[in-house]
Amino acid sequence: MMPRAFQIHANDNVATLLDDADGEIQILGSQPQEIRLLEKISRGHKVALKDLSAGDPVIKFGARIGQATKPIARGAWVHLHNLASDVDDRSSTLDLHSGAPTDTSSAYA
């Protein structure tokens, strides 16, 4: 079976991966389609459904969740390295892979 992602709302320009994927994926939801990933993307992460320019809104759940901080090509991973969150001001300080804060020091360091 082809790896899948889900587009929640017809206006979304990202979809969420339901499976770890690399290569072709099937987009389920309001606008079914197949796209080729430009890189490996883990389950639960977002993929761009169209080319986005720096400053373009990123739409998920039919609502703006942030903006692209640099150009994002269709099929690319959308995450902390290219998205500034409208929901969490600290998102740009989180570790790309673990999500751990990098702007505070640990008492155990």
Kindly list the structural domains of the chain, giving each domain's residue range(s) and its CATH number in brackets, ordered by start.
4-93 (2.30.130.110)
Q: How far apart are CA 82 and CA 92, in angstroms?
A: 9
Q: Is 19 helix (H, G, I), strand (E, B) or coil?
A: coil
Residue type, 82: N
Residue type, 24: E
- The pLDDT tens digits of the residues spanning 3-51 come to 999 999 999 999 999 999 999 999 999 889 999 999 999 999 999 999 9
- Quick one: average pLDDT of 65-69? 94
0.75 exceeded by pTM? yes
